[in-house]
Structure 1
Amino acid sequence: MTTDPGSGSALRLSGITKRFGAFTANDRIDLDIAWGEVHALLGENGAGKTTLMRIVTGLYQPDEGTMSLDGTPVSFRRPEQALRAGIGMVHQHFTLVPTLTELENLAMAPAGVPWRNGRAAARRRAAEVEAATGLRIAPDRLVSDASVGERQRLEIVKLLCRGARLLIFDEPSAALSPGEWDELAKLMRRLAAEGHAVVLISHKLSEVFAVADRWTVLRGGAVAGTGDIAGSTPEQLVTLMVGESLAPRRERAPAAPGEPALVVRELNVERHPDGPQALEDVDLDVRAGEIVGIAGVAGSGQAELVETVLGIRPALSGSVELAGRRLERRTPAGFYAAGGALIPEDRHHVAVIGGMTLGENINLRALRQAPLARRGRIDLRAARQRAVRLAAEYEVRATGESQPMARLSGGNQQKAVLARELSTEPLLVIAVQPVRGLDVRATEFVYRRLTEHRDRGGAVLLISMDLDEVIALSDRIAVLAHGRIRGVLDAGEATRARIGALMTSSEVTA
């Protein structure tokens, strides 16, 4: 098969339809991806993008329609058939084995790292892949010890090890720093220039306009439009995605900081017992009525900071105060009892319990409080009423409070998490990657709710790999690099260039 740029259609879908019972996820979709291009696939959560790509990669089979690869009709019954045909996908939720090392995960890739020839040969091949892609890996590190951003990089390297010619990236920048995204964007352009076909699924229109050649928008499971990036505008694509123009984001009122909500002093934390230090002499203040953002590349100590404040990771030394009270014996229960709340990074495995209902998830924090708790029992009627009220208030789209959480879209799951955490009116909210993988409408909703919490006098500690997000939401920004706070900037003086310089600096500034 040829993969010369401009040589014609790489992937052509005609009339693809996929139903789940009475629900139509994909409705007669026509899509044409060319060799030598980056094609952006856009749409709100639940628009049918992931379902369509699962059909392309053999996870699902269409009920109607045809598919051809390089002009040849194909029909994949299993993902390995698509892989052998040269189609690979980096999923938003990773397909790695956490108990194996990064090198061992690469060795599992068909036609990838030659593990059978010995560890030394495998390591050489891994180094070659790293050099070719510009994506760093740590061959001997367990995947379970890697951050989300590091796992995402490994997924991309593994995909390239498989020799894929048509590469599908599902929200690939969600956990990457700006510099890492820039390198990934260059990689995508280079792959397209070399004759590959690249499909980019992203909610970040700035990335789409920076790297893509063409776009297709899905809405309600059908194609709402397709066209060239040249001559298109972000406003046009947003209107196609949501069916209307989004209201412009309101100007945020200046912060009115009050008393310290979170005070961290001289915090030192190990990454592993007897291993390198993850945090070194970290000082951090978050006051009531402000949002403090943490900027830094993945693996700079963000996870260890959150886990230590939350009470699930011990500290070598240092102190943590919440609401003016030092947390001597830090535990998650103590953190919540002192007025803390958490919006975790891993929505599916940490933030929600998929096997429980929407109502049960929303009420988890309130089960021991009146009016839900009465004489040691849960008032089921009061619990249902509270869940219905909060679901409506936080615009959670569901069939009802009894719908299983796992059946909600990512955006609606995140709204339910916000409802659960913010409804208790906490003093401090730690929000980690709060809009990761969300569409433009859900993203604006999360931003608005966090800002409203700040305006009511609450404190927010925002941790995100997206510099634009940190700059847009934060009143102050602390730059964390190699386990140390390199500087703290007021929002008015924070720029991407200045923050980037602090990320790479070895000096600590006031």
Structure 2
Amino acid sequence: MTTRPDSGPALRGTGNGASALRLTGVTKRFGSFVANDAVDLDIAWGEIHALLGENGAGKTTLMRIVTGLYTPDEGDIELDGEPVRFRKPEHALRAGIGMVHQHFTLVPTLTELENLAIAPAAVPWRNGLTEARHRAQEVAAATGLRISPDRLVADASVGERQRLEIVKLLCRGARILIFDEPSAALSPGEWDELANLMRRLAAAGHAVILISHKLSEVFSVADRYTVLRRGAVSGSGTIAEATPDHLVTLMVGDRVADRPPLPAGTPGPAVLTVRGLDVARDDNQPAGPKALQGIDLEVRRGEILGIAGVAGSGQSELVEVLMGIRPALSGAIEMAGRPFTRRSPREFFQAGGAVIPEDRHHAAIVPGMTLWENITLRSLRSAPLNRQGVLDVRAASAEARRLMDEFDVRADSENLPIGRLSGGNQQKAVLARELSGNPDLLIAAQPVRGLDVRAADFVYRSLVAHRERGGAVLLISMDLDEVISMSDRIAVLAHGRIQGVVDAAKATRASLGALMTSSGEAL
């Protein structure tokens, strides 16, 4: 294993265009399953390299090898032309390789400075907080990335937490930075800031690896690309010579059909009605600002109502209060014309509600349970899967296989732990579970976050099909293109208030962006 001294923040990489990281014939197996099959990958100093592929194509496994979480069964890895083999993540970080994960690795109850101080280092800092402050100042001077040292991470926005993750890596000397779906929770403006930062880092000589399913982002920022399909490299080259259709074909083997425009609908009566809803913030200070204030909403049968807004505008609180997880200070909620007063998750589901949670890993699945248990979780208490209080495992397994087929959930067996499936197949399993009961109201929060183009298209079409059957969908997303293309109407949420409700057919990114950043009273 090759490491280098922790001499301070990696403010400049090599920047000479030479090879920074080279993988040759890297293979990783899990039993009979080949996750990576003789992968060759060459990352140069001073470039932004996009790593593309469907969910389950092997990207995550490959990066786990690079960052020391896994060791390859075959193949070689070179860093700066020298052979390396990392057996722990700290070995990779000490060698200058850091990863900004899609799910952040921060401690919410600590301050930003404390999070910097507790990160691993090749040589332990004698005075952690003092050294962390000094190195953060160095990073800020070199990159413009500034943190709020005394702010609790729990009080920071998603974009601010991501910035802290990057500063943490730079403070610890990372020269090769891997970004895993970095825009998944960012507003368009925050993505633009991150893209500019990536360019600055590459211009300063760092090597940047970008894992993204959004081809618009790849074409806006990347220099070169490598595509994985079924664990093997299906193509590589320069972005300047590529087209979106070419990259999609490399990823999935054929061209994904264009998604048709949302057909005109005829909305029916209201399924969800919200009037004058006020919700306290987590600090529960009655005199302070509220998480939600004066919310009026109506979602009708045969309609998709989109909620647009930057992260932290009250989306999570809205979902929680509708589900009965969070209490309301005031206001009224009706489900299918009936007062929804004794709110709890069980009452929400019994009233005809269903939800695709924003956080798939912590709120939508139980990773250690099997696929069949997860996909039938809503119906395990009732016939025909449950007979007089006794679970019929054979019937539940058969129902799971039926749903797997209907919703294209790809797995060798329904008995596999769902945590071993790709993100796309996990999300399709959640979709199958929530839609199998034909709910009156489906709340879909960030339903295609982190999904590849094929899986995202399947989710889109499933939501539209539910709408066509007369179901109501409350779609919450920070992707403006997604909200515009998938909604009948769009409500813009900013600072806990509805700033306006517009016809999606007349909405533009500019008009929604203006409402999203509004600081005034609701329109």
Give the TM-score taking structure 2 as reference length. 0.92
Equivalent position of 1:23 in the other structure: 33
Answer yes or no: is the 8 Å Cα contact 1:167–1:199 preserved in 2: yes
Match of 2:295 in 1: 282
Name the structure 2 match of 1:48. Answer: 58
How far apart are 1:137 and its partner, in Å?
5.4
Residue 354 of structure 2 is matched in structure 1 by: 341
Distance in 2 between residues matched to 1:456 and 1:407, nearest whole Å: 33
Going from structure 1 to structure 2, the CA distance change for 1:431 and 1:150 (only over 3 Å counts) comes to farther
Q: Identify the residue that residue 242 of structure 1 maps to in structure 2.
A: 252
Structure 1 SS opposite 2:37? strand
**Cα distance change of structure 1 residues 463 and 138 upon mapping to structure 2, 3 Å threshold:** farther
CA distance in 2, matches of 1:148, 1:176: 7
Asked if the contact 1:152–1:175 (Cα under 8 Å) also holds between the matched residues in 2, the reply is no
- The question of 1:368 aligning with 2:387 is answered no
1:197-208 to structure 2, matched below 5 A, reads 197-208=207-218
**1:218 paired residue among 210, 216, 228:** 228
Q: Does the CA-based 8 Å contact 2:117-2:131 persist in structure 1? A: no
Q: CA RMSD in A?
A: 2.3
Q: Which residue of 2 aligns with 1:291?
A: 304
- The answer on 1:353 being equivalent to 2:366 is yes
Structure 1: runs of 5 or more not aligned: none
Residue by residue, what CA displacement relative to the aligned partner does 1:374-400 show, whole Å, maximum 9, x if unpaired? 333333332222111111101111122
Q: CA deviation at 1:27?
A: 1.2
* Structure-1 separation of matches of 2:349 and 2:47: 49
Partner of 2:345: 332
C-alpha contact 2:132 2:171 (8 A) present in aligned 1: no
Identity of paired residues, percent? 72
Query: 1:67 maps to which residue?
Result: 77
Matched, 1:36 2:46: yes
Cα distance, 1:239 vs structure 2: 0.3
Q: Distance in 2 between matches of 1:326 and 1:185?
A: 46
Q: 1:66 to 1:91 in 2, by over 3 A?
A: same
Q: Which residue of the partner structure matches residue 428 of structure 2?
A: 415
| Equivalent residue number for residue 172 of structure 2 | 162
Aligned-partner residue type, residue 355 of structure 2: L
- Return the offset for 1:307: 0.6
Map 1:41-440 → 2, pairs under 5 A: 41-110=51-120, 139-143=149-153, 150-271=160-281, 272-274=283-285, 276-440=289-453
Distance 1:116 1:269 in 2: 45
1:128–1:421 distance in 2 versus 1, CA, 3 Å: farther
Contact 1:137 1:153 (8 Å CA) reproduced: yes
What amino acid is the match of 1:244? D
* Match in the other structure for 1:14: 24
Question: How far does the alpha carbon of each residue in 1:243-264 deviate from its partner, in whole angstroms, 9 at most, with x for none?
Answer: 1111221232112211111111
Q: How many residues in Structure 1 have an aligned counterpart in Structure 2?
A: 509
Provide the residue aligned with 1:502 in structure 2. 515
Shift of 1:414: 0.7
Q: 2-side partners of 1:127 and 1:265: how far apart?
A: 47
Which shows bigger deviation, 368-377 or 14-23? 368-377
Gap change, CA 1:487 and 1:127, over 3 Å in 2: farther
Q: Cα distance 1:236–1:37, how it changes in 2: closer, same or farther (>3 A)?
A: same
How far residue 106 of structure 1 moved from its aligned partner, in angstroms, is 2.0
Residues 119 and 158 of structure 1, relative CA distance in 2, 3 Å threshold:
closer
TM-score (norm 1): 0.94
SS of equivalent residue, structure 1 residue 309: helix
CA contact (8 A) 1:111 1:161 kept: no
1:451 alignment counterpart: 464
